[in-house]
Amino acid sequence: MEKFRFYFVGKIPSKANYKKISHRRVYGEMKPFIINNPGVLASQREAVFQFHIQKQKYGMHLFPMDKPVKVSFTFFLSGRVKQRDIDNAEKFIGDVLEKAEVLKSDSLIYLKEKVEKRLGLRKFEEIVIIDIELLDSSVVKDYETEVEHFEEGLREFLKELHIEVP
């Protein structure tokens, strides 16, 4: 199995602030319109730059990966760990892995082995460690094979909802 470790050092925006509402004058009237948040775009550009440097060390011929992968994320946060929603930070990193052409598509992430958030160094930038491992073809086959039957607890719940399982 091929394994890769990538690092991102910088601001990890939440998905919630990807878009920003601004206003412009149209025929004398102020009209709202949506623009991409400049802070998010700056973070994306920085992440793409950092991933590009790291791809060169592994060899550019290995990228973009076009096979299913397993990933792990470790977030070292600079602020309040308890209040930070890392679901959105995960989405940001997935999007940037695609934009930086580390992965052909973030839909190739079949398995997230570990997602961890920790307090980093105070007054230092946020850091993300991303471990990526290509999945073995037998494992991929298991994920892409239809499930033969559901576990008993799920079957019981579906019965309660009056949903018939084929």
d(CA 104, CA 92): 15
What integer is the mean pLDDT of 110-130?
90
| pLDDT surpassing 90 at residue 156 | yes
What is the pTM assigned to this prediction? Answer: 0.82
Q: pLDDT of 69-109, one tens digit each?
A: 999 999 998 877 667 788 888 988 999 999 999 999 999 99
| pLDDT surpassing 90 at residue 25 | no
Q: Are strands 109-119 and 69-77 parallel, antiparallel or unpaired?
A: parallel
* Residue 17 confidence class, pLDDT cut points 50, 70, 90: low
What integer is the mean pLDDT of 25-36?
76
pLDDT at 5: 98
Q: Provide the 3-class DSSP secondary structure of residue 128.
A: strand
Topology of domain 3-135, CATH: 60s Ribosomal Protein L30; Chain: A; (3.30.1330)
Q: Could you tell me the CA-to-CA distances from 32 to 18, 25, 37 in Å, in that order?
A: 16, 9, 15
CB atoms within 10 A of CB 86: 19
| 110: Cβ contacts below 8 Å, ≥ 6 apart | 68, 69, 70, 135, 140, 143
